[in-house]
Amino acid sequence: MTLQTIQASLQAVNQTLAQVVKETETLGETIASGHNTIQAAVTKGFEAHIQALRNLLVEQTVAERKIENYMDYGTPGRAPYASCDEESRVDVTLGRKNTAEASVMIRENIASFNTGFGERKASMEAIRELPEAVTSAENIFPKDNTLQMDGDDEGTVTNAVRWVQIATNPYPDLTVQEELEETPSGKDYEAVKKIKEASLTVPQLALSDIIANKTPSHELGDWAEQMNAIMGQSGTPACVVDGKISADALLDMLTDLRYANPNWPIDIHSKSKDGLLRELLLMDSVNLEYQRRNLVLLQHIVAMVAQDTTDEAKKMGRLMDEYRTQAISEKARE
């Protein structure tokens, strides 16, 4: 029942009530006039009008309470906070695809820094010429969980890529001249290069995913503004960049709509059973996405921890090489 319907119903009740009161007064005057011949019929009619008056008073009270509840809580069975229509669901699906593609592109950009330098001096000059903002933590953990797309300021996708490049690989590989590739040392260089690049793969993958999840990729800017208004705020949320929000900002919004929204408890108390079930299902779906993201993160962590434990094996390998060389020398001296 809409607010307009409730108000129209209340207006009709008030009009009928006024008519009953008027007729009741007329009947009272008739009784008082002393017309004994019709007194019995009038009394019966008077009692009927009294009952009708009582019923109307009850209906009026119910209608007033419905209006109060509507103004305070809204429609009891309405859709849950942050529920998406079909169009918005398509945007969420496309947004996830865009995030995955962004992670691949970011990873390729990060890897490109590892090639193309002929001398160490050139790579150091390239790092020195980067803007000061490249060292900021805002590049990997921006406020509002959303990176700006371009620019040399802190908190942009461009500087996030640069941050990962110099944080994970400050000394990129140097190119080896073709005539040196077939020398014993040149071949050893290529072998060590592969080992180094393999050790960078998982850390750079994990960081690429973090950046991608904070890159504006979901066409949900209008939806974010609507949800912002539900929470009693006005204007465009800070997480909206060119009409888009990031995957992390989407989860933040879905969480804030409940945990940080003073209107949510009121809405919950006013919902019907169907409304509560819809709300619970939506919250479960958000929780599933959190669990999926946590699983990916856990896999990254396990891979990097496992990789770190191999450092001891690398040290032992070098030590074994030294012992082997010494053994060969000792045998040669016999």
- Burial label for 251, CB within 10 Å (0-12, 13-18, 19+), is middle
How do the residues of the chain divide into helix, strand and coil, expressed in percent and rounded to 5?
A: 75, 0, 20
pTM of the full structure: 0.69
Contact 216, 241 (CB under 8 A): yes
Last residue of a domain, one of 30, 46, 73: 73
pLDDT, tens only, 176-223 = 887 778 888 888 888 888 888 888 999 999 999 999 999 999 998 988
Same domain, 56 and 195: no
Q: Is 42 strand, coil or helix?
A: helix
Extract the residue ranges of the chain whose pLDDT is less than 70: 1-10, 12-14, 16-17, 20-21, 23-46, 49, 62, 65-87, 89
pLDDT, tens only, 271-317 = 778 878 888 888 898 899 999 999 999 999 999 988 888 777 777 77
Rounded to whole angstroms, the Cα distance separating 112 from 110 reads 5
Per the structure, how many domains does the chain have?
2
Same domain, 176 and 317: yes
Residue 47: the pLDDT is 72
Same domain, 67 and 91: no
The H or E element containing residue 156 is: none
Residue 76: the pLDDT is 46
Domain range for 173 is 78-334
Residue 54: the pLDDT is 74
Contacts with 74 (C-beta within 8 Å, 6 or more apart), sequence order: 267, 270
Same domain, 90 and 188: yes
Last residue of a domain, one of 73, 89, 118: 73
